[in-house]
Structure 1
Amino acid sequence: MEKYTTIRPGQEWRDTDGELIQAHGGSVLYHEGTYYWYGENKENYKAGEKNWHYGVRLYSSSDLYNWKNEGIILEPSEDITNPMHPERIMDRPHIIYNKRTKQFVMWVKFAGSKEDYSDWRVQYMGIAVSDDIRKPFQMVKYIRPLGMEMGDFDLWVDERDGKGYFIADRVHTEVIIADLTDDYLDVIGNYSSHFPHTQPPLAREAPTFFKRLDKYYIISSGTTGYNPNPSEAAVAELMHGPYKVLGNPCLEDVKNTSFDCQFSCIFKHPTRYGLYIAIGDRWMAKTVMIDGQEWAETSEAGYIWLPIKFQGDIPYIEWRDEWKLEEYEISKGPKEWWED
């Protein structure tokens, strides 16, 4: 297969075996010189049928362009009572590395009750660990953080002190930022609340978090299911805020759909000066009509990777049909460039 040398948002992206990449609702992690892209494996999903996922799949890369399939790192279960059964709802895995415990810690969002596996109102987290990101993770616990129904989320680790944070939407009401325990396997009681709304579509979901210079940022989505909507950026001087809403960061987003995607991760490049990449899914890239209802064929959802630019402290995202990482300079030393 011919190698990729550019990023082409929204266009078909295949792994080094020629298969469509299955890393939906996912994130990118950089560890010891290798990039890892992981997400929901939707390869068995068919619109209108029961299968929601087939575990969490991992890819590795040395250049962020070409991705090797490393296999499924959080296996599905054959037991329908297990939240990892393919017919159960599992979303948005996030992995962080704990330098203290030398473990990779994965959180995933589950939804559904024992009585109704499709009940979106019941949401909670599963936490799994592995000593090697390329090897299977083992589920160690299920939690309802702070006793609340938590939906889409992000995890972030402060590079300065290793402190971890959980950033999540409390279903259709507000965004919560909570401190993680030292082992990243739970939250402690310290948390803050942001962006209160009473109901969709204004209620925020899919929060993505990053830090630049001495400012903290959240880019989130409105609540309209798989249908895309305008993103919203917010900034604060402290981790727990208060956050100032900046509006839609997507420039010339004429359809007010965040370029027809929903962002799931903001990846800070480890060596290229000032490069932050907004990573999202174009869930409605392919749809089918079933009994008069439009369904997203998520196994063929496309990916949107776009660089974030800044005007002062204001982030903005412009559409690019094609772009290269090489447009950004490599930093001259490990701490020469601007932050942390």
Structure 2
Amino acid sequence: MSGKKYLIRVASAVVFGLLTSSAIADLKPIESGKDWLDTNGKLINAHGGTLFQAEETYYWIGQDRTQNSNLFNALNCYSSNDLTTWTFENQVMTSKRNTELPSDVIIARPKVIYNQLTDSFVMWFKYRRPGGIEPNMRAGVASSETPCGDYHVESVFFPTADRVAHYAGDNALYADENGKGYYVLSSIGELKDGEMGVLTEGQIMRRLKIFEMTPDFRNIQKLVYDFPVETVHKEQREAPGIVKMGDTYILFSSGTMAWRPNQQKYSTAPAMTGPWSIWKNIGDETAYGSQTAFIIPVVGDQKTTYIYAADRHEADNLIDSRYVWLPIQKGKNGELRLQWIDQWTMDTETGEWLITQ
């Protein structure tokens, strides 16, 4: 290990709403759905990914779709100090370098979390062979000593706790202030002992589960919350994104409509172990044509703002997929709100944001 202990910033204060500081009006705006270019003038390719902060730098890792395919090509990493100017740093995983990951599989939803015990950045990702639900919907774990370094695959497996294995779908990671790490999983079912690939429920029934991870964040050790089964297919949940706002944990998710835009919802809880509230709608019925990827806490020296960060998938032409980032606001009754904003500006130093057009 490098021996360098990274300072990972965690949001603890919660502030919502539009601020009117004129000082941020000159900063580069965020324009959802537009072509976002890196400092080399190339489209940012980091789909279904993760964003985290180490020291004073933000890092964004996601799926590369330059081959216009969902099959594994690479996972890209970008860095930024202001959330708008992004520099390409590295292809942290590639089909050529990571030969344990065949190029005919889907490697998606990479999520990264810093582990202080091992002084390493730990990535969990979704591993799936396209076509059917054969026993290939697994999770993968990789790690790197630096945020944008080469991530080395450590294992590909069915997450198992209390002798129950789970199909691994979309995921999210969260590290609490006490050092505990959590794995949020959207799974289509459990696996019977000795019969990998057989659903114990007899049918696909996607549901969200929360697991406490082992201290090194490389595995799960116990189930701490199991969301109730939704019998209506479109109400089943995937694409989780987790954040803590003040003393409340907020879990965002999408309906299981593949890449078709649908109503995003959120649930709240006083602890990762629950109890979690009923799902509440946020944004319009299509989340402005997007699906949750992650939530960005921007901890400034004056305010804390939370950003809904999502993908706008173009299933028929994946290379045309874009991003939707919008500030999360708080209504009069305490509910969370998303409104479409054509152009807005984020000041990462102060934590303030402003509609600029």
Aligned length: 304
Which residue among 169, 178, 184 is the counterpart of 2:217? 184
Which 5+ residue runs of structure 2 have no aligned equivalent?
A: 1-25, 189-204, 353-357
TM-superposed CA distance for 1:270, in Å, is 2.9
Which residue among 140, 150, 163 is the counterpart of 2:180? 163
Which residue among 64, 69, 85 is the counterpart of 1:66? 85
Deviations 1:91-124 (A, max 9, x none): 1000011112110000100113xxxx53346411
Work out whether residues 78 and 85 of structure 1, in 8 Å CA contact, stay in contact via their aligned partners in 2: no
Which position in structure 1 is the counterpart of 2:14? none
Identical residues among aligned pairs (%):
29
Which position in structure 2 is the counterpart of 1:119? 132
Which position in structure 1 is the counterpart of 2:339? 318
Partners of 2:116 and 2:276 lie apart in 1 by 29
1:8 paired with 2:31, answer yes
Work out whether residues 213 and 222 of structure 2, in 8 Å CA contact, stay in contact via their aligned partners in 1: no
Root-mean-square deviation over aligned CA pairs: 2.2
Q: What's the secondary structure of 2:149's corresponding residue?
A: coil
Deviations 1:192-221 (A, max 9, x none): 101412462221111111111111111110
TM-superposed CA distance for 1:29, in Å, is 0.8
Work out whether residues 304 and 351 of structure 2, in 8 Å CA contact, stay in contact via their aligned partners in 1: no
Which 5+ residue runs of structure 1 have no aligned equivalent?
A: 285-294, 332-340
Larger relative contact order (C-alpha < 8 A, sep ≥ 6)? Answer: 2
Which position in structure 1 is the counterpart of 2:52? 29
- One-letter amino acid matched to 2:121: F
Work out whether residues 246 and 314 of structure 1, in 8 Å CA contact, stay in contact via their aligned partners in 2: no
Using the size of structure 1 for normalisation, the TM-score is 0.84
Which residue among 189, 202, 218 is the counterpart of 2:235? 202
Which residue among 94, 117, 121 is the counterpart of 1:104? 121
1:305 paired with 2:319, answer no
- One-letter amino acid matched to 2:226: S
TM-superposed CA distance for 1:246, in Å, is 4.4
Deviations 1:255-299 (A, max 9, x none): x11110101101111326221111111102xxxxxxxxxx42112
Question: CA 1:211–1:313 in structure 2 vs 1: closer, same or farther (change >3 Å)?
Answer: farther
Q: What's the secondary structure of 1:135's corresponding residue?
A: coil
Which position in structure 2 is the counterpart of 1:276? 306
Which position in structure 1 is the counterpart of 2:152? 138
Deviations 1:224-261 (A, max 9, x none): 111111011111122121211242111xx2xx111101
1:266 paired with 2:295, answer yes
Which position in structure 2 is the counterpart of 1:175? 208
TM-superposed CA distance for 1:52, in Å, is 1.7
Which position in structure 2 is the counterpart of 1:52? 71
Runs of 4+ residues over 6 Å off in structure 1: none
Partners of 2:44 and 2:117 lie apart in 1 by 32
1:149 paired with 2:167, answer yes
